[in-house]
Amino acid sequence: MKIERVVRLEEVQRHLEGRKKWPAFLHGEWANGCPEDVGEALAWMASGVVGLLNVASVGPLMPICEAFKGLIQAAEGAAEADENLRELIAWCAFLTDVLLQHGKEVDALAPVMKPLRDFVSTTNQLAKRAKRLATRRKCAALLCFARDGKQIQDFDAKLRSIWNDIQGVTILWVSAEFRAARPPKTGEMAKIPHNAPALPPAFVERSGLVEAVAQDLAAAERATDTADVLRGIPGGGKTVAASSVVRCENVRRSFKDGIFWVQVGQVGTGNPTALLKGLAEDLAHAPSNRPRTVPHEFRDVEHVVSHLVGVLEQGNLRCLVVLDNVWDREMVPLFLRTGFRCLVTTRDVAMVPRHLWGTCTPVDMLTEAEALELLKKASRATSSIPRDEGLEVADDCGFLPLAIAIIGAMGSSRVNPHSPETWRGVHARLVEEPSLVQDHVGGALAVSFRELSEKARARFRKLGVLARGVRAPVDMVAHLWEQVGARWAGCVLPLISDTFLDVGCPLFLIVHTGP
């Protein structure tokens, strides 16, 4: 994270030195020029920056976010402006991104509190001025008359001074580590797979586990005919661990030709051709010095395997594919034949033939420290939660990350997460769960479902639609059988197209089990 921040700040500095007018780096769209009309420019900037501001608009950065949003709102629709105004708004955008990058780590806010306060004050002044001048009949721009130029220049000088403060703090902050290890260029590292699941908001890194798997994958001497396996029970965090591994820099450098993610699951088990074809298409679109093509149509599995082998051999490529949630014993041998290194997640280690194991890493229960940290993050506690009560709740959840994250994110857990009484109450509700729910994740889901209001529970049951991978609470599933007579078809059949239900026969329905 620190090295990424160095790179980001270097990019900002280069843009500022080059007098770039608009923060194209926020989008990564380097080819797009600055919009001609100031009104269009402000609308474009709002769409590009406000989303980033919304992410950070809770906590210490709220004042700067509100000030900048006020600036955009006040100036929106301006049809003409002086060059100073264009540059001034660009400075605001640059500084906003710089401050947001610092703000991603709470400890990083302290050295930049003065620039933060100065920026809020400056942008608030500009926003007030914009609102006042925007009421003038002939022009909605911030700069209307020549005599206004001096004030605009004063704002510009203030922003330059703030930037110098931030730059000075940053240089002192990162110079030592920057000299020790310059980050690799983008071309020297693979991109994070576009379909790799994002790390959850309450992510707790299991550093020993992730580092060990990453080092093993990145080892140059490792053979390509074996797979690294992450195995564990549902809710143990296998997919999150794999997603964390593919974000490690040593893995991205080792497989700089491409890292890919294939969601297998029970659905993909019966259609390996489609999964391999998807991999071939992703490989064709991966960054490369030479264009790659993919056949319009593959005849069968062997045709796809042959194509992938040829592409890797021809380009001498070193690529990694993550096979997530494998349920079929034939899947891993098939993908290994392509020449890709494989990282596999599965709940049943028997799904990977023993002779194809590289390393097999169990991913199950969290340590006590990890469980407490996850409860702290999920409940949004600002300091440590009560240890004994927190561990009691973690034990109720089987020390499984998914169950703990669900319980920690409940409204009742977030009211006062620093109070022992909060967690005693959560524990009491967990142990009161009926014997109908046998597993820890199911128990956590049931408790969190009962936390909803009566109206919310009723709406939730009737909706009958869940995101992929989310397990349905018992009450919700039971509601599907409350439909009687001829009405059931009209209520249930529309859900079939969303793959939530399958019709087993005219007399009964089969609900998909969770992955």
| pLDDT tens-digit readout, 246-265 | 999 899 999 988 999 998 88
Question: What is the band of 31 on the pLDDT scale with cuts at 50, 70, 90?
Answer: very low
pLDDT for res 480: 52
pLDDT for res 129: 62
pLDDT for res 45: 44
Question: What is the band of 272 on the pLDDT scale with cuts at 50, 70, 90?
Answer: confident
pLDDT for res 102: 58
For the segment 353-399, what is each residue's pLDDT rounded down to a tens digit?
888 888 899 998 899 999 999 999 999 998 899 999 999 999 999 89
| CA distances from residue 174 to 5, 113, 114, 128, 442 in whole angstroms, order as listed | 9, 18, 19, 36, 45
Structure tokens at 488: 């059931």
Distance between CA atoms of residues 467 and 462, nearest Å:
15
Distance between CA atoms of residues 341 and 504, nearest Å:
38
Which of 34-38, 60-64, 173-177 bottoms out in mean pLDDT, i.e. has the lowest? 34-38
Report the pLDDT averaged over residues 132-147. Answer: 44
Which is more confident, 69 or 287? 287
Report the pLDDT averaged over residues 486-491. Answer: 50
Q: How many CB atoms lie within 10 A of CB 65?
A: 24
Residue range 188-362, CATH number:
3.40.50.300
Strands 501-505 and 508-511: antiparallel
Distance between CA atoms of residues 377 and 385, nearest Å:
10
Structure tokens at 35: 């919009």
Report the pLDDT averaged over residues 497-504. Answer: 40
- Gyration radius of the chain over CA positions: 27
Distance between CA atoms of residues 375 and 393, nearest Å:
9
pLDDT for res 5: 44
Partners of 507 in beta bridges: none
Whose tokens are 């994070």? That residue is: 192
For the segment 409-449, what is each residue's pLDDT rounded down to a tens digit?
888 898 899 999 999 999 998 888 664 446 788 888 888 88
Distance between CA atoms of residues 253 and 59, nearest Å:
35
pLDDT for res 503: 40
pLDDT for res 219: 83
Which is more confident, 32 or 152? 152
**How buried is 488 (Cβ within 10 angstroms: 0-12 exposed, 13-18 middle, 19+ buried)?**
middle
Which is more confident, 191 or 61? 191
Q: Which residues contact 274 (CB under 8 A, 6 or more apart)?
A: 268
Q: Any idea what the Cα angle at residue 219 is, between residues 215 and 221, rounded to 5°?
A: 155
Report the pLDDT averaged over residues 50-78. Answer: 50
Distance between CA atoms of residues 323 and 207, nearest Å:
21
Question: What is the band of 238 on the pLDDT scale with cuts at 50, 70, 90?
Answer: very high
Distance between CA atoms of residues 160 and 118, nearest Å:
11
Question: What is the band of 224 on the pLDDT scale with cuts at 50, 70, 90?
Answer: confident
Report the pLDDT averaged over residues 263-284. Answer: 82
The conformation of residue 195, written as its DSSP 8-state character, comes to T
Partners of 229 in beta bridges: 344, 360
Q: Which residues contact 117 (CB under 8 A, 6 or more apart)?
A: none
Distance between CA atoms of residues 94 and 26, nearest Å:
9
Residue 67 in this model has a pLDDT that exceeds 70:
no
Which of 20-34, 186-200, 282-296 bottoms out in mean pLDDT, i.e. has the lowest? 20-34
Average confidence score pLDDT of the chain: 70
pLDDT for res 434: 60
pLDDT for res 425: 92
Residue 461 in this model has a pLDDT that exceeds 70:
no
Residue 183 in this model has a pLDDT that exceeds 50:
no
pLDDT for res 200: 86
For 38-43, which contacts have Cβ atoms below 8 Å and span 24 or more sequence positions?
Answer: 38/75, 38/78, 38/79, 38/80, 38/81, 38/85, 38/86, 38/141, 39/76, 39/77, 39/78, 39/79, 41/86, 41/89, 42/72, 42/75, 42/76, 42/77, 42/78, 42/89, 43/76
Question: What is the band of 47 on the pLDDT scale with cuts at 50, 70, 90?
Answer: very low
pLDDT for res 92: 65
- The backbone torsions φ and ψ at residue 201, rounded to the nearest 5 degrees and listed phi first, read -55, -35
Question: What is the band of 475 on the pLDDT scale with cuts at 50, 70, 90?
Answer: low
Structure tokens at 449: 């479902």
Which is more confident, 88 or 513? 88
Distance between CA atoms of residues 282 and 127, nearest Å:
46
Question: What is the band of 69 on the pLDDT scale with cuts at 50, 70, 90?
Answer: low
Partners of 263 in beta bridges: 324
pLDDT for res 167: 61
Residue 243 in this model has a pLDDT that exceeds 90:
yes
